[in-house]
Amino acid sequence: MSRSTTNRELRGHAERAALMLMFVIAGGTIGYHEIEGWPLFDSLYMTITTLATVGYGEVHPLGETGRAFTIALILLGVGNLAYAFAGTSHFFAAGGLQAYRRRAKMDRMLAALQGHTIVCGCGRLGTAILHELTAQGAPVVAIERSDEVVRRLADGPLAKTVPYVQGDAQADDVLVAAGIHRAHALVAALNDDASNVFVTLSARVLNPALVIYGKADDPATLTKLERAGANHTFSPSFVAGHRIANQIIRPAITELIGIATGKSALELAIEEVVVRRFGLPTGVRMSQTPLWGKTDLLVLAVKTHDGAVVFPPRPEQVLHPDDRIVVMGSPIRLADALAPG
């Protein structure tokens, strides 16, 4: 049984117990008022002391009918209290308080996210994407339906850095709970292609500006993902095959790309930066940016705001604030050069 299912059952138990207790208190108060003619406050006091079994005694002498009513009230009320106590004990024994605190913390993490990536499906591919994004310091949210996978997320190394939403990623309310209206990107990495197409359709409707990456095991589905609104599509088997073939034919180039985009003892990295980050005026030329003319930095390309890729960029190229510059160099020099202002 999943944590969410257990929590729903415990919450339902508590709600039923509270409703029954309110019914018994109201019934006892009205009963004493009608049978014995007591004031409502005295009737309420007698009901509470009877249910609590504290033995304070009767507030007024009871007739035979009142005593019979008191017996019924004790049997019904004590039984209800035992039911409520059993549910409370089960709540703590099942780790309900810990789960509640964890869920509250998760909700705070989700509410604070902005410009994050939503990963739908946390199988081997989705988990690998989560690990890589968190290693790069990128904000990310996971959506997963499987109870077993959710337990792995909650108890594993990603628990403190990756908030998750348990549910079907094809449901709009689940995507909204993951903050899709504030998200920057979404990865549809579910197990079947039809689900990924449906998630892409739903996500595109909810957030037209979202950058969507769609996975397809069948290469024929890639076109459907594009029609559904995916900005980028990929087939894991095709990507792996392409990478291995390139490593066989062009080992030096593949190794250089791996060094620049992954973890290596060699200090080299490739980054991209939006032009507006430098705080330069509109219409600035490439030669006027802090990246140009550095011996330890290499400007590789520019992706313009309208989607075109300029390679190699010229020093006289006029830049738009939304253009992105791709640059390669050591991580330290890149961090210094990409610092705003």
* Local confidence pLDDT in tens for the 341 residues of the chain: 444 545 566 666 667 777 888 888 898 899 988 998 899 999 898 988 888 777 677 888 888 898 898 888 888 877 777 777 766 666 555 555 555 566 666 777 788 888 999 999 998 899 999 998 988 888 999 999 988 888 888 788 887 788 888 899 999 999 999 999 999 999 999 999 999 999 999 999 999 999 999 999 988 899 999 999 999 999 888 777 777 787 787 776 666 666 555 555 456 677 888 888 888 888 889 888 888 887 778 888 898 888 888 888 898 989 988 888 888 887 777 777 776 55
pLDDT at 13: 65
Strand, helix or coil for residue 254: helix
Contact 169, 145 (CB under 8 A): yes
87 and 121 in a single domain? The answer is no
8 and 68 in a single domain? The answer is yes
pLDDT at 263: 52
Cα(first)–Cα(last) distance of the chain, in Å?
53
State how far the Cα of 316 lies from the Cα of 309, in Å rounded to an integer: 16
Indicate the pTM of the whole model.
0.60
Tell me the residue range of the domain where 164 lies: 114-240
- 8-26 burial, b at 16+ Cβ within 10 Å, e below that, comes to ebbeebeeebeebbeebbe
- Which tokens go with 86? 């059993």
130 and 217 in a single domain? The answer is yes
Contact 20, 12 (CB under 8 A): no
258 and 309 in a single domain? The answer is yes
The CATH number covering residue 148 comes to 3.40.50.720
**210 within some domain:** yes
Contact 166, 144 (CB under 8 A): yes
Q: Which residues contact 327 (CB under 8 A, 6 or more apart)?
A: 270, 271, 272, 273, 291, 297, 298, 299, 300, 334, 337, 338
**106 within some domain:** no
Alpha helices, DSSP H only, in 122-235? 124-135, 147-155, 172-177, 193-206, 222-228
The CATH number covering residue 67 comes to 1.10.287.70
Count the domains in the chain: 3
- The number of residues making up the chain comes to 341
pLDDT at 328: 82
pLDDT at 239: 76
79 and 123 in a single domain? The answer is no
pLDDT at 2: 45
State how far the Cα of 302 lies from the Cα of 314, in Å rounded to an integer: 10
**247 within some domain:** no
In the sheet with 140-144, reading across from the earlier edge strand, the strands are: 164-166, 140-144, 117-120, 185-188, 211-215, 232-234
Q: What is the DSSP secondary-structure string of 33-100?
A: HHHH---HHHHHHHHHHHHHT-----SS---HHHHHHHHHHHHHHHHHHHHHHHHHHHHHHTTHHHHH
Contact 209, 225 (CB under 8 A): no
The CATH number covering residue 287 comes to 3.30.70.1450
- Which one-letter amino acid corresponds to residue 185? A
Residue with tokens 């900005």: 231
